[in-house]
A = this chain, B = another copy of it.
Amino acid sequence: MAQSMHVRRSATLASLAAELGVSRTTVSNAYNRPDQLSPELRRRVLETARRLGYPGPDPVARSLRTRKAGAVGLLLTENLSYAFRDPGAVGFLEGVALACEEAGLGLLLVPASPEREDVAAVHKAGVDGFVVYSVPADDPHLAAVLERPVPTVVADQPELDTVDRVGIDDGAAISGIARHLIELGHRRVGVLCMRLDRDRNDDFVPMQRQREAHFHVQRARLAALANAFGTVAVDWASVPVVERFDHTVANGASAAKQLLDRDPHVTALICTSDILALGALTEARRRGLRVPHDLTVTGFDGIADAERAGLTTVRQPVLAKGKAAGELLINAAEHAKPRVVTLETELVIGTSSAAPRTTEERWFGP
């Protein structure tokens, strides 16, 4: 970004002061403390400023001096284009933006895609604090943020006990889904989940990977499911779990295909996100499976498209989450222990879940 036409440059506070024959303090005051000088003088200062093309105090220099950047950084570790396409992420973003707007702070989106190992962007960010959203516990960008001497608030991911955090009770939330399915009589279930770790694994997920996932939210959901189905003697090790790195509807469909191809007797597909569930619905349709008659599908998040599709899911307040994160950061007063805000979720029973057909029904029709 070199020059462009609209670049006047040059005049500084000092040169203005010299021109006016007053001290720098006075000029500074004209901008920052109007009550500290006579209206007349202030008028003169401002007028001369306009004449000289002085654009007012340089924000960077002011920031250096005041030790305030006037902005909050948002770390996403996800291609930004993803962030703007995932309704959950957009809602969160909106929430953070709202909090910033109210406080008159800017919101700086820090570029940090998963491919880019380059942490420089975090170091370059002139901000008064960071909100970290949905990054794996071992992400280098996160480490870089934590080194910066500014307050940090984490949302959903990762779970750290050194910084403030806002999230939901993922285990409890998805247990609601599990209980619902168990009551309906489902015992042969399959799971579609989002990225569990920084390395790509678009495939079935062995137990160890489930247990050691660095994406804590996904890990917590899987663990809760295992636990819930354990109570009805379902051996979790035999439950097929398919993972997808990129969170898209298409991937939900392909994951469902992969799972059903191997295990066609599954009566319910539990998805850890609505996006994946919408893909599962597509795949079900493609195979001629009627939902919920032939196959139950559940989601997670409560995005608009999911409710429109009648998905059984868990609704979570994404906007409130973002807002809470922003506010926590902005009010990061001195406090000894990290604060934790846990938001409420709500089980939404849609039309995508029903009792599984019995074996007879499978053979002889409904």
**Chain A residues close to B by CB (< 8 Å):** 1-10, 55-64, 69-71, 73, 79-81, 83-85, 90-91, 93-94, 97-98, 100-101, 104-111, 113, 118, 120-121, 123-126, 128-129, 146-152, 162-164, 329-338
Chain B positions within 8 Å of A73 at CB level = 106
Of chain B, the residue at the smallest CB distance from A334 is B3
A84: chain B residues at CB < 8 Å are 90-91, 93-94, 97
Listed A/B pairs (6) with beta-carbon separation below 8 Å: A1-B151, A2-B334, A60-B63, A60-B64, A84-B91, A109-B109
Indicate which residue in B62, B107, B147, B334 contacts A108 across the interface (CB closer than 8 Å): B107
Closest residue of B by beta carbon distance from A10: B149
In the complex with contacts A111-B106, A124-B106, A152-B4 CB distance below 8 A: yes
A1 touches B129 (CB 8 A): yes
B71–A126 touching, CB < 8 Å: yes
Q: Which of B7, B81, B91, B128 contacts A97 (CB 8 A)?
A: B81
Bound CA span A7–B163, Å: 10
Residue of B nearest to A67 (CB): B60
Kindly provide the distance from the CB of A303 to the nearest chain B CB, expressed in whole angstroms.
13
Give the number of times this chain occurs in the complex, counting copies: 2
By the criterion CB–CB under 8 Å, are A2 and B94 in contact?
no
Residues of B within 8 A of A62 (CB): 124
Q: Is the CB of B123 within 8 A of A126?
A: no
Partner of A94, one of B80, B104, B163: B80
CB distance from A299 to the nearest CB of B (A): 19
B151 touches A3 (CB 8 A): yes
Nearest 3 A/B pairs, CB to CB: A4-B151, A84-B94, A4-B332
Q: State the Cβ distance, A280 to closest chain B Cβ, in Å.
A: 20
Quick check: B104 and A100 within 8 Å, CB to CB?
Answer: no
Q: Tell me if B97 and A80 are in contact (CB < 8 A).
A: yes
Partner of A121, one of B2, B106, B113, B124: B106
Q: Kindly provide the distance from the CB of A75 to the nearest chain B CB, expressed in whole angstroms.
A: 11
> CB distance B152 to A6 under 8 Å?
yes
Give the residue name and chain of the B residue nearest to A109 (CB): B107
B59 touches A126 (CB 8 A): yes
Q: What would 8 more interface pairs be, CB under 8 Å, given A4-B152, A56-B147?
A: A1-B129, A55-B147, A59-B126, A63-B126, A69-B126, A79-B101, A80-B107, A90-B90
Tell me the minimal C-beta distance from A184 to chain B in angstroms: 31
Q: Are A101 and B123 in contact (CB under 8 A)?
A: no
Do the beta carbons of B71 and A1 come within 8 Å of each other? no
B104 in contact with A1 (CB, 8 Å) = no
Complex Cα gap A124–B63 (Å)? 8
Chain B residue at minimum C-beta to C-beta distance from A90: B84
B59 x A1 contact (CB < 8 A): no
Considering the complex, give the chain B residue whose CB is closest to the CB of A331.
B1
Are A108 and B71 in contact, CB atoms less than 8 angstroms apart? yes
> Chain B nearest CB: distance from A13 CB in Å?
13
CB-CB < 8 A to A80: which residues of B?
Answer: 94, 97-98, 100-101, 107
Contacts of A7 in B (CB 8 A): 149-151
